[in-house]
Structures are given as C-alpha cells and as structure tokens.
Amino acid sequence: MKHLFTKGTDESAPVLLLLHGTGGTERDLLPLANMISPASSVLSVRGNVLENGMPRFFRRLAEGVFDIEDLIFRTGELNDFLNQAAVDYGFDRSNVVAVGYSNGANIAGSLLFQYKDALKGAILHHPMVPIRDVVIPDMTGLPCFIGAGENDPICTPQETRELESLLAGAGAEVEVHWERFGHQLTSSEAAAATEWFGRTFGNK
C-alpha cells in the first residue's frame, strides 16, 4: 500500500496510523498527527480503491452504503500491511493507535470489529458503523475517541450512538465529542482529540 513512515523521537509513544477521508492522500492528516503526538512514529496510508479518481479505503455502492465484501477484503489487506510494516520499520505492532477521518475512520472501525488487538486505541473522526451482524472481538479497556457532528448529514447522531453502543458493549472505553459543523473535521475537534490522547496515553 502506498504510504509514508516517519520515525518518532519516542519509541514508547504509540505509533499513529493515519487514515484519510475520501479523496485524500497519505499527507492529509500529518499536521493532525503532529498536533496529537509530535514524538510518535507515524505510518500514513493511502487507500487502495479509486472512486472517480478519488482514493478510498474500500468501495461503496452509494453514499453511506458500503460494499461489505470489499470492506472485509480491504480490512484484511490493511491488517496484513500493518503486520508487515511493523517488521519492515521495526515498531511494536501492539502499540498502534489509528487516527482516521470519515472513510479512514470507517476502515479503522472495521479493523476493531474484525481483528482482535489490531489496534491499541483509535481516534475516529465522523465514523459510521462499519459492519453489522458480526461477532465483535473483546475490546475490554480499549480506548476510543469519536468526533461527531450533531448535524452531520453523512454520519447521523443515531449512527454515532449505535457505534458507541457497539464498541462499549465489546468493552471499549468510548468518549464521544460532539460539535455542530456537519461532517467537517474542525480545529476544535482536533484539539479535543489531542487532549483525550494526552489523558489516555500520556503527553508525548
């Protein structure tokens, strides 16, 4: 998978896995990573799927309607990539925290739903429920931040609450931050994620 890796100054800090939104690239969330944990190593990945020339992490059939077969395949592909990247770059595979926005947050959620211990934690900006009617792995104690919009037309508050309930039901420690800027990832939401990360993993 096309990606960037930057080695951090603190090897004990979680490695940040950056997952962009539709039409983004592996460079989109680099400023956010530097804000959240400037000492962390960063692995930023570009989605392998193109939709009208726009990179995505998996196909969809329509707005908000996922191609579940492709989602399952692409999630496995990403998990395999992470396993190999840990070997190639020499980082601790068990110390990866995802930072995803929109489509990137959805595949990060899919990793959590399909692979036990795939992530140490997750910052999900405007995610949807990635997949339904599956047995979700035990996530006891896994920290998860969700940035959501009370007026998000793509990811409704009902969708956010359902995802929160599913994650919490699997044992995850979920914190939801609400804003009123639709589907946008705002500076105040990024600041809330940064504050949460500092409380959860220690300021690095």
pLDDT by 10s per residue, the chain, length 204: 999 999 999 999 999 999 999 999 999 999 999 999 999 999 999 999 999 999 999 998 887 789 999 999 999 999 999 999 999 999 999 999 999 999 999 999 999 999 999 999 999 999 999 999 889 999 999 999 999 999 999 999 999 999 999 999 999 999 999 999 999 999 999 999 999 999 999 854
pLDDT in the model for residue 100: 98
**For position 161, what pLDDT does the model report?**
97
DSSP state of 14: P
Instruction: Tell me the CA distances in angstroms from 44 to 24, 96, 143, one per residue in order.
Output: 11, 12, 20
Query: What is the per-residue pLDDT for 203?
Result: 58
Residue from 41, 102, 110, 125 carrying the catalytic annotation: 102
Fold of 3-201: Rossmann fold (3.40.50)
For every residue of 94-160, DSSP letters joined together read TSEEEEEETHHHHHHHHHHHHSTTS-SEEEEES------SS-PPP-TT-EEEEEEETT-SSS-HHHH
Residue 126 annotated among the catalytic residues of the structure: no
Q: What residues does each domain of the chain span?
A: 3-201
Contact, 112 vs 139, CB < 8 A?
yes
165 is catalytic: no
Q: Is 152 a catalytic residue?
A: yes
Half-sphere exposure of 44 (CA within 13 A, CB side): 19
pLDDT in tens, 41-53: 999 999 999 999 9
